[in-house]
Amino acid sequence: MKRTIVNEIHVDQSVSTVWQALTRSDRLSQWLMDNDFKPTKGHKFKFVSDPAAGSDGIVNCEVLEVTPNSRLVYRWCGGPLMNTELTWELHPEGGGTHIRATQSGFDVFKWIFTALVGGRWKKLDRRYLFVLKEHLNGG
Per-residue pLDDT tens over the stretch 24-66: 999 999 988 899 999 999 999 999 988 776 678 788 999 999 9
DSSP assignment letter at 37: -
- In one-letter notation, the amino acid at residue 77 is C
Q: Which domains does the chain have, with CATH numbers?
A: 2-136 (3.30.530.20)
The dihedral through the CA atoms of 5, 2, 83, 39 has a sign that is negative
SS3 (DSSP) at 33: coil
CB 10 within 8 A of CB 96: yes
pLDDT-derived band of residue 137, with 50, 70 and 90 as boundaries? confident
